[in-house]
Amino acid sequence: MDHSHIPLRTELRDTLKLAGPIVLNQVGHMSMGLVDTMVSGRIGTNAIGGLGLAANVFWTFTSVCLGCLFALDTYFAQSIGARDDRSLSGYLAQSWWSCAFVTVASCLLILLGGALYAVTAAAGPVRDAFTAYLANIIWCLPTIFVFFVLQRYWQARHRVLSFTVIILGANVLNLFACLALGLGWWGFPRLEVKGIAMATVICRYVMLAAAVGFTWYELKPFTWRLPRVDWHIQRQLFRLGLPAAGHTGLEVGAFTIATFVAGTLGAVPLAAHHVCLMMAAFTFMFPYGFSQAAAVRVGTFIGAEQAARARTAGYLCIAVSVTCMSFFSLGYLLFPRTLLGWFTHDPAVIATGAKLLIIIAVFQIADGTQVSATGALRGLGNTHAAMVANLIGHYPVGLALGLILCFGFHFGVTGLWGGLAAGLISVAGMLMWAWRSATRDLSVLHPLARTETGPLPDH
């Protein structure tokens, strides 16, 4: 039965109850990168630039491989909605093999990307900082994927507060570790960019240990024995996951390309670009959290065959994301220099960054719309729409226009960001059209596992 008359206030309360801790989790993940940037700013402009380039290489390929695991949102949530514990356990067990596959792929891609930059970039402090950061940060790769799976599993079960505590605790540890190893406080050796990367690696392993401990305690008796590979389930996961990985790669890749283009403009534009990119990525974590909540809520209702509630939940998450990003947009317009002063004292970087923050303020609402619509569509099992929208929006529109404004009209890094803004706005429009089209006819919304794959095989 489709309980379509649930009050909107009740749905909003339940959504915020789930989304609040998820948002804090995503902000916590992003805050680690913000701290790295702030501490590197105390080292110098070249350190910010080199760390920024290395972080873009690392997170571009890591995010693409994480996208392969996004299908877990759909299958975990729909299994819970259908009260299918056997399928839920099967997907969790097989996710360890998926983690192994994407860890190897991510490592190879990062090493290749880092090597290409190292052999093509001119020798200097920016390249030295790039190499030092990337060579150390890569050691935390396995922790990222396993932690991601555990977080998504408990998130689908509406158990997120424990992970919020873990992530917030890791942020405190990361701050002190960066100050100690990066700047040499409290008698520690001053390792600068290398020390900042080492601090992050330490924190990631602490986070994983806490997540594994929590899972073992909650699921006792629980075996961590690795099952044999079930290629039927792996095909299910990657059939949805690969388009999601494509969408992530297209979106993150556009900003990574923009970062390397900014690197050709000089140390100051590169530093301003990276600082503003980190700020935009930080505010992006709020609607990204609502996007995850949308995937869980929509997927759960689809699994329970409550299509009308699934549609309401999706629209509600999109509306909350837009409201949230409106406030951030206002903040960027009113306090640009104050915000930039938290990261650097270089007046040239602040002056350039203030122009970029105006552009970032313009696309905040579009950014919130596109990511929350992506999550809602993922709850339906639709990961193709986001891939197509990001391909069209970020490349023929965003990057092409940005390069024309940057070099053709000599607007520099400001023109580059103008193109990126246009791309995000077009992506938001396409995804809202896709969500509206997908949910117009409620009769066609069915649990994915029942209509496409049949029952999960026994193990």
Please indicate, yes or no, if residue 369 is contained in any of the structural domains.
yes
pLDDT of residue 454: 39
Ramachandran assignment for 412, one of left (phi > 0), alpha (psi -120 to 50 degrees), beta (any other): left
Q: What is the mean pLDDT of residues 75-103?
A: 86
Tell me which range, 158-162, 296-300, 398-402, is most confidently predicted by mean pLDDT: 398-402
Q: How far is CA 318 from CA 137, 217, 264, 366, in A?
A: 34, 35, 37, 11
pLDDT of residue 1: 43
Choose between 372 and 23: higher pLDDT.
372
170-229 pLDDT per residue, tens: 999 999 999 999 999 999 999 988 999 999 999 999 999 999 999 888 887 666 667 888
Please indicate, yes or no, if residue 319 is contained in any of the structural domains.
yes
Residue 377 has pLDDT above 90, yes or no: yes
Residue % of the chain over a pLDDT of 90: 44
Q: How buried is residue 248: exposed, middle or buried, by Cβ count under 10 Å (0-12/13-18/19+)?
A: buried
Q: What is the mean pLDDT of the chain?
A: 87
Q: Which of 85-94, 208-217, 357-366, 380-389 has the lowest mean pLDDT?
A: 85-94
pLDDT of residue 458: 36
Residue 108 has pLDDT above 70, yes or no: yes
pLDDT of residue 459: 34
pLDDT of residue 339: 92
309-353 pLDDT per residue, tens: 889 999 999 999 999 999 999 999 999 999 999 888 889 999 999
CA 9 to chain centre: 29
Please indicate, yes or no, if residue 1 is contained in any of the structural domains.
no
Please indicate, yes or no, if residue 404 is contained in any of the structural domains.
yes
Please indicate, yes or no, if residue 458 is contained in any of the structural domains.
no
Q: Are 297 and 379 in contact (CB under 8 A)?
A: yes
CB burial string 123-145: b at 16+ within 10 A, e below: eebbbbbbbbbbebbbbbbbbbb
Q: Whole-angstrom Cα distance, residue 132 to residue 110?
A: 14
| Residue 78 token pair | 């729909």
Q: Whole-angstrom Cα distance, residue 210 to residue 173?
A: 13
Choose between 221 and 306: higher pLDDT.
306
Report which DSSP code applies to 442. G
Among residues 424, 444, 316, the alpha carbon closest in space to that of 372 is found at: 316
Q: Which of 6-10, 39-43, 80-84, 313-317 has the lowest mean pLDDT?
A: 6-10
What is the extent of the structural domain holding 298? 8-453
pLDDT band at 448 (very low <50, low <70, confident <90, very high): low
Cis bond leading into 396, ω under 30°?
no
Ramachandran assignment for 83, one of left (phi > 0), alpha (psi -120 to 50 degrees), beta (any other): left
Number of neighbours of residue 408 by Cβ within 10 angstroms? 10
Residue 123 has pLDDT above 90, yes or no: no
Residue 356 has pLDDT above 80, yes or no: yes
Q: How many domains does the chain have?
A: 1
Residue 121 has pLDDT above 70, yes or no: yes
pLDDT of residue 176: 95
Residue 285 has pLDDT above 50, yes or no: yes
Please indicate, yes or no, if residue 192 is contained in any of the structural domains.
yes
Q: What is the mean pLDDT of residues 363-369?
A: 95
387-423 pLDDT per residue, tens: 999 999 999 999 999 999 999 999 999 999 999 999 9
Please indicate, yes or no, if residue 213 is contained in any of the structural domains.
yes
Q: Which residue type does 189 have?
A: P
Q: 3-state class of 321 per DSSP?
A: helix
Please indicate, yes or no, if residue 459 is contained in any of the structural domains.
no
Residue 75 has pLDDT above 70, yes or no: yes
Residue % of the chain over a pLDDT of 70: 94
Residue 445 has pLDDT above 80, yes or no: no
pLDDT of residue 444: 66
